[in-house]
């Protein structure tokens, strides 16, 4: 049986992708909470939706099927008859101060149609939406001016991160920050109950029930047996080693992982904010991850004897990539042409976060015009999308897309 999830490269022709249209959750940001919710500004909803629709249409015009997280989530809950069970879990993970508030929110949300309930959970629940009175001390003493019972999830349109396709399976991720931790619960239910995926042989290589963190922006599928995973602000070295154990033991097809260490900071939160694959032998790179000699700490994990993992340390990333991909030359294309001002500016707005929809064909933000011209100078087909509001969330085309099916590369 062919798995409904099938991704064996970063660049094979994209057939199906998971998106999330930004909704009211991005309007439920305020200056007080946006930093904690991992935003640097507040998007203008009609415009961010227009830009996102343009992104989706661009993919569709290029033959890609676009499916939506919010729709699949509601369909999964109905198909599995698990609306209440899901809601219980979501409430448990939402940091509610009391069981009476839990009960009140449960009643409020369960009374909605499933799609409305899903959209509402994503958007967040304001304190003025339900008539809630309680004499419990925790309620009486909780902050009166905090406007939400349930926080919004404005980062959901970055579908790349809460889960990541990998061969005929995926990782469903334990996210680093509380602001994003509930997001991966949607994917857990989609994989378990949506008729498109349930009982169809999709391997969950790593579930969200882990202490160690991993996010999809760090997970790159270089080919059908080599992965690159960032050791970053969002993905720990320990979780990479745990994943390696599973992938190597379960005959996943993957037998080599390059763990690439990148700086731990907001601008470079995931590997794909500084490094993406464009073609068999071409990558974008932000020079900020290289030292003066162009080196990057890279650890190669491979299966050893008796389930041990052999780890070798290299710093010559370019040579390592050339060797594992078996190409005669390998080109690292610097974002912003490596200029001291343009590179950090365009990287901040996701100039290196390209989404390959076929070998040598990428979707990028139009605002990164220097990087886009550099890519074109290498003969790469660059398809630009509008990006004034989308970029405020600090993610680009790769972050906003979770490939579900890609064509295998020709050998
Ligand atoms: N893969 C990515 O780099 N995703 C972008 C995530 C941006 C989001 N505001 C976050 O901080 O998690």
Residue 234 lies in a domain: yes
Residues 9 and 30: their CA atoms lie apart, in Å, by 39
Other C-beta atoms closer than 10 Å to the C-beta of 70 total 18
Look at residues 133, 150, 167 and tell me which one is the last residue of a structural domain: 150
Q: Are both 143 and 212 inside the same structural domain?
A: no
Look at residues 111, 131, 150 and tell me which one is the last residue of a structural domain: 150
Q: How far is the CA of 399 from the centre of ligand 1 (A)?
A: 7
Helix (H) or strand (E) holding 79: helix 69-79
Enter the tokens of residue 311.
Answer: 């780890």
Q: Are both 246 and 383 inside the same structural domain?
A: yes
* CATH code of the domain containing 240: 3.75.10.10
Look at residues 117, 150, 183 and tell me which one is the last residue of a structural domain: 150
Pick the residue whose CA is nearest to atom 1 on ligand 1. Answer: 217
Mean pLDDT across the chain, nearest whole number? 96
Q: Nearest 5°: phi and psi at 299?
A: -115, 130
Other C-beta atoms closer than 10 Å to the C-beta of 123 total 19
| Predicted local confidence at residue 141, as pLDDT | 77
Residues 15 and 3: their CA atoms lie apart, in Å, by 14
CA-wise closest residue to 56 among 40, 68, 44, 73: 68
Q: How far is the CA of 98 from the centre of ligand 1 (A)?
A: 31
Greatest CA separation for the chain: 72
Number of domains forming the structure of the chain:
2
Residue 35 lies in a domain: no
Q: How far is the CA of 111 from the centre of ligand 1 (A)?
A: 33
| Predicted local confidence at residue 270, as pLDDT | 97
* CATH code of the domain containing 109: 1.10.3930.10
Q: Which of 164, 173, 217 to mutate to test the pocket of ligand 1 (most atoms within 8 A of CB)?
A: 217
| Predicted local confidence at residue 410, as pLDDT | 84
| Predicted local confidence at residue 1, as pLDDT | 57
Pick the residue whose CA is nearest to atom 12 on ligand 1. Answer: 38
Which residues 6+ apart lie within 8 Å of 35 measured at CB?
A: none
Residue 39 lies in a domain: no
E-strand stretches of 194-330: 203-206, 219-221, 226-231, 256-261, 275-279, 282-285, 298-303, 309-314
Place of tokens 């070798």: 312
Q: How far is the CA of 326 from the centre of ligand 1 (A)?
A: 31
Q: Which residues of 297-318 are buried (b: 16+ CB within 10 A; e: fewer)?
A: ebbbbebeeeeeeeeeeeeebb
Pick the residue whose CA is nearest to atom 11 on ligand 1. Answer: 38
Q: Are both 143 and 235 inside the same structural domain?
A: no
Q: Ligand 1: residues within 6 Å at CB?
A: 38, 155, 158, 160-161, 180, 217, 269-270, 272-273, 393-395, 399
Residue 411 lies in a domain: no
Cα–chain center distance at 182: 13
Residues of the chain scoring pLDDT < 50: none
226 is catalytic: no
CA-wise closest residue to 392 among 340, 350, 354, 356: 350
Residues 44 and 26: their CA atoms lie apart, in Å, by 8
| Predicted local confidence at residue 303, as pLDDT | 96
User: Do you know the residue count of the chain?
Assistant: 411
Enter the tokens of residue 360.
Answer: 């040598």
Q: Are both 232 and 321 inside the same structural domain?
A: yes
Pick the residue whose CA is nearest to atom 4 on ligand 1. Answer: 399
Helix (H) or strand (E) holding 170: strand 169-172
Other C-beta atoms closer than 10 Å to the C-beta of 111 total 9
Q: Nearest 5°: phi and psi at 25?
A: -60, -30
Residue 114 lies in a domain: yes
Q: Are both 145 and 165 inside the same structural domain?
A: no
Domain with 122, as residue range(s), is 70-150
| Predicted local confidence at residue 104, as pLDDT | 96
Q: Are both 250 and 339 inside the same structural domain?
A: yes
Q: Are both 59 and 102 inside the same structural domain?
A: no
Q: What is the complex's ipTM, to 2 decimals?
A: 0.99
Q: Are both 227 and 356 inside the same structural domain?
A: yes
Which residues 6+ apart lie within 8 Å of 57 measured at CB?
A: none
Residues 198 and 190: their CA atoms lie apart, in Å, by 8
Task: Point out the catalytic residue in the list 244, 399, 400, 405.
Answer: 399
Residues 359 and 376: their CA atoms lie apart, in Å, by 14
Ligand 1 atom closest to residue 393's alpha carbon, by position in its atom list: 9
Note whether 6 and 405 are within 8 A (CB): yes
Summarize pLDDT for 327-386 with one digit per residue, the tens.
Answer: 999 999 999 999 999 999 999 999 999 999 999 999 999 999 999 999 999 999 999 999
């Amino acid at each position: 049986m062919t798995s409904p999830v099938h991704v064996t490269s970063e660049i094979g022709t994209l057939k199906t992708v998971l998106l999330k249209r930004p909704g009211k959750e991005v309007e439920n940001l305020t200056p007080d909470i946006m930093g904690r919710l991992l935003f640097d500004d507040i998007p203008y909803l009609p415009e961010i939706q227009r830009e996102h629709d343009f992104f989706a249409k661009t993919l569709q015009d290029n033959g890609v099927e676009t499916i939506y997280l919010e729709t699949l989530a509601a369909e999964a809950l109905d198909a599995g008859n698990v609306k209440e069970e899901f809601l219980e879990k979501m409430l448990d993970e939402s940091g509610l101060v009391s069981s009476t508030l839990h009960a009140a929110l449960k009643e409020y949300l369960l009374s909605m149609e499933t799609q409305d309930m899903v959209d509402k959970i994503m958007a967040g629940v304001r304190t003025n939406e339900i008539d809630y009175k309680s004499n419990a001390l925790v309620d009486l003493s909780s902050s009166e001016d905090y406007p939400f019972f349930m926080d919004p999830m404005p980062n959901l349109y970055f579908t790349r991160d809460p889960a990541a396709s990998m061969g005929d399976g995926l990782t469903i991720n334990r996210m680093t920050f509380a602001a994003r931790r509930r997001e991966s619960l949607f994917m857990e239910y989609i994989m378990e109950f949506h008729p498109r995926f349930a009982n169809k042989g999709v391997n969950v290589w790593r579930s969200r029930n882990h202490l160690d963190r991993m996010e999809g922006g760090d997970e790159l599928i270089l080919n059908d047996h080599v992965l690159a995973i960032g050791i970053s602000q969002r993905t720990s070295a320990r979780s990479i080693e745990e994943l390696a154990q599973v992938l190597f033991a379960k005959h996943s097809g993957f037998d080599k992982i390059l763990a690439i260490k990148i700086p731990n900071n907001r601008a470079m939160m995931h590997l794909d904010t500084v490094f993406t694959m464009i073609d068999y032998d071409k990558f974008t790179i932000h020079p900020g991850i290289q030292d003066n000699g162009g080196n990057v700490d890279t650890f190669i994990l491979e299966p050893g004897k008796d389930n041990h993992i052999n780890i070798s340390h290299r710093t010559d990333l370019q040579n390592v990539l050339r060797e594992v991909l078996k190409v005669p030359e390998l080109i690292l294309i610097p974002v912003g042409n490596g200029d001291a001002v343009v590179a950090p500016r365009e990287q901040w707005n996701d100039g290196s976060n390209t989404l390959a929809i076929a070998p040598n064909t990428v979707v990028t933000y139009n605002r990164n015009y220097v990087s886009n011209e550099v890519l074109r100078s290498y003969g790469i087909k660059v398809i630009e999308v509008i990006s004034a509001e989308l970029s405020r969330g600090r993610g680009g085309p790769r972050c906003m897309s979770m490939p579900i099916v890609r064509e295998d590369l020709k050998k």
